[in-house]
Amino acid sequence: MEIRNLLCLLVSFSSFKEIFCDLVYHNHNILTSVPEDIPSSTTEIWLYGNAIRTIRRRDFNDKYSDLEDLTVRYNKIKSIESGCFKGTVLRSLDLDSNELTCVPDLREISGTLEVLNLRFNQITKISMTELNYLTKLNELSLSVNLISTIMDFTLFMPELQDFELQGNPLDCCHGTAWLKQVSTGILYVGTFPCNYPSKWNSTAWIDITYDMILKQLCDVAKNAIVQDWKGRYLCLPKDQGIHILCVNETWLKGTETDSPVISELLPGGYLIRHVPRMSRLGGIAIIHHSLIDVHAPSSSLNFATFEHQECLVKVRQCMRLAVVYSPPNTKSCTMNPFFNEFADFLESFSSQKGHVLITGITDLHAYGLTGNELPCKGWQAGSGYVCHRLRQNPSED
């Protein structure tokens, strides 16, 4: 009987140890960096209540191939190096109660990350490119930060079921009107979320309608579109002597609310030609120096699957320039309508005089095209055209 009990005890101890090899926790140990003695087979790490200030690539990259859950709550994290978490399969990342001022680069785990907690940090603004590649997210918390404006990135997150934004000093104006279009079962902004305009400080969110917010002009300096542009184009044309800049996802609507935004963004001596967005996403523009001879065609075809802006640029030789934007694919879409229309556009556009240059975002990945599987190869065969594909992140081509 005693031998049997001893064997049971040994088996229990072995199982206990096995469990805690999967879960490693260093809570309230006053750690200043991620410990290096964590077993490589670990699936879950808790580093709760320490004094860690930075997460470095060498802390996690290619070290924990089974790591699914990382909790680093109540630390002093100010920065996370770009390219962190390579080689992990993180599904949940909890950075609650730290000192982050921006959303970290999480591209290495964009294919697995489902839960992201950035609650109680010091984030002041978020550009579209900081979140739009996290297409697998179903839970996102940005509660209790310093966010006043935010772009509509939710269209890139079809699986999002829980979006927490309460406790932020929100500007309730046309730039954030999209928040009223998000299901109340998904979005949580609190009872009285509006910091601007002051007349709505004591007005419940449920009593503020989409039309009310849409008609409310934003403080231009803090406008979500302005912040997004400045985040994407750190050097505007005048800063580097650029003569022509092609812009996708301008978010301009073609209404009176565009004027203050354009005035804030457009450098002196530059002009803008733009096509308003045709849905919640999009909008395209060509910004050019006023001394450059740029003319828009008198007539242009319209297409259902993409936006386009074309113009004739006269410098030493004539060049036909076009910007193309195809909104994110939906479940009901197939590649055929887009490529059929684009083929028609290409034929029409290239049949006229002048060299041809077409730029833009086409979301080829959304149609299941990867690597060298480019339909434009068929177009360029024997035509003299060359197609280059640049993919900056998982959500754009």
Of residues 340 and 299, more confidence is placed in: 340
Of residues 197 and 314, more confidence is placed in: 197
Q: How far is CA 393 from the centre of its chain?
A: 9
Which pLDDT does position 226 carry in this prediction? 58
Q: How far is CA 116 from the centre of its chain?
A: 14
Alpha-carbon distance of 344 to 305, in angstroms, equals: 12
Of residues 394 and 170, more confidence is placed in: 170
* Residue 13: its H or E element: helix 2-22
pLDDT tens digits for range 88-124: 999 999 999 999 999 999 999 999 999 999 999 999 9
**What's the token pair of residue 342?**
């684009």
Alpha-carbon distance of 326 to 304, in angstroms, equals: 10
Domain boundaries, the chain: 12-221, 233-380
Query: Cis bond leading into 394, ω under 30°?
Result: no
pLDDT tens digits for range 287-322: 877 777 887 776 567 788 788 888 888 766 677 788
How far is CA 223 from each of CA 151, 257, 301, rounded to the nearest angstrom?
10, 11, 32
Residue 2: count of CB within 10 angstroms of its CB = 6
Alpha helices in 304-382, H assignment, sequence order: 335-350, 376-380
How far is CA 18 from each of CA 21, 24, 39, 253, rounded to the nearest angstrom?
5, 11, 11, 58
Which pLDDT does position 300 carry in this prediction? 62
pLDDT tens digits for range 223-274: 555 556 555 554 455 445 567 878 877 777 777 777 777 776 777 677 888 8
Alpha-carbon distance of 329 to 337, in angstroms, equals: 11
> What is the CATH topology of the domain spanning 12-221?
3.80.10
Residue 137 scores a pLDDT above 80: yes
Residue 377 scores a pLDDT above 50: no
Return the exposure string of 299-327: e unless at least 16 CB atoms fall within 10 Å of the residue's CB, then b. ebeebebbbbbbbbbeeeeeebbbbbbbb
Q: Coil, strand, or helix at residue 324?
A: strand
Which pLDDT does position 336 carry in this prediction? 64
Query: pTM, whole model, 2 decimals?
Result: 0.63
- Single-letter amino acid code for the residue at 293: D
pLDDT tens digits for range 343-360: 788 877 777 777 778 887
Residue 332 scores a pLDDT above 70: no
Alpha-carbon distance of 82 to 105, in angstroms, equals: 5
Average pLDDT over residues 163-181: 91
- Single-letter amino acid code for the residue at 75: N
- Tokens 């031998």, located at residue: 3
Is 233-380 a CATH 1.10.1740.10 domain?
A: no
Q: Coil, strand, or helix at residue 139?
A: strand
Which pLDDT does position 18 carry in this prediction? 40
Residue 155 scores a pLDDT above 60: yes
Which pLDDT does position 381 carry in this prediction? 43
Average pLDDT over residues 334-348: 74
Average pLDDT over residues 170-181: 88
Confidence of residue 9 (pLDDT cuts 50, 70, 90): very low
As a whole number, the mean pLDDT across the chain is 78
